[in-house]
Amino acid sequence: MIIPRLLRRARLENRELDHDPNITMLHMIGLEKFETIEQCTVRNMEMIARFRHLSNDLSGVHDKFAASAFDRHMSGWDGDWLASRGHRSRIIPQAYRILDLNPGPLFFVTIVHPKWEIAEGCLRSSNIHAAKQWLRRRLQQMKRRIVAIGGFECSLRIDQPKIAWAGHFHFVVAGAPYDELREALTIEAHYLTTRYSKPVVIQPIGDLASRIGYSTKRVVNQNVAYRGRNGRQQRRQLPLALKHQIESDLWLLSLRAGDRTFLYGCRHHHGTLVETTRRMTSPT
| Residues 253, 255, 259, 260, Cα dihedral to 10° | -60
Per-residue CA distances from 233 to 73, 82, 115, 161 (Å): 46, 37, 22, 15
H helical segments located in the chain:
2-16, 21-28, 37-51, 59-68, 81-101, 128-140, 178-184, 208-215, 242-253
Per-residue pLDDT, 18: 53
Per-residue pLDDT, 10: 52
Q: What is the pLDDT along the chain (284 residues), one digit of tens a residue?
A: 444 555 555 555 555 455 678 888 999 999 988 999 889 989 988 988 888 777 555 545 555 555 444 444 446 889 999 999 999 999 999 999 999 999 889 999 999 999 999 999 999 999 999 999 999 999 999 988 999 999 999 999 998 788 999 999 999 999 999 999 999 999 988 887 766 778 999 999 989 999 999 999 988 999 887 777 777 777 888 999 999 999 999 999 899 999 999 999 999 988 899 998 654 444 45
Per-residue pLDDT, 74: 43
Model pTM score:
0.84
Per-residue CA distances from 113 to 169, 189, 203, 217, 233 (Å): 9, 11, 17, 19, 19
Per-residue pLDDT, 281: 41
Per-residue pLDDT, 271: 85
